[in-house]
Amino acid sequence: MLRNHHTSNHTSYDPPILKIWKERQGVLGESTMQASEDLLREHYIDLKDRPFYAGLVKYMHSGPVVAMVWEGLNVVKTGRMMVGETNPADSKPGTVRGDFCIQSGRNIIHGSDSVESAEKEIGLWFHPNELVDYKSHAQQWIYE
């Protein structure tokens, strides 16, 4: 999920690495939306006891976000590598957070940390009929 400060301050919300990723992995769903506070509270429920929880929900509600569902081989693991570390200072150059972020609380992008989390988050952000299951012709050149 691309967070609101990036979507509202740039004419193109896709960092170059995401454009490459979309071509290689495939996007089953993508939606720009103003998330409700209820949706955001549920999405970040695992952080509810942290001191920054209320501020995070308020911040995320302050503008639009772009929610995406990606598919591909080891998509969660490789997606996390592409996104970078939670703390942008620990992220390598070439990752989204390494190239486009300064502080953890404004780190531009969220990526699921496990397949189980991804399944839960997909269910929160998308209805099944909003996801397109298709196979790109390019996949024959990418996967064995």
Active site residues: 110
What string of DSSP letters covers 3-27?
-HHHHHH-SS---HHHHHHHHHH-E
Which run of H or E residues covers position 118? helix 115-125
Q: What are the angstrom distances between the C-alpha of 105 and each of 5, 90, 144?
A: 11, 14, 39
Q: What's the DSSP call for residue 136?
A: -
Instruction: Give CA–CA dist 79/136, Å, rounded.
Output: 19
Contact 98, 53 (CB under 8 A): no
Q: What are the angstrom distances between the C-alpha of 116 and each of 36, 98, 132?
A: 23, 26, 20
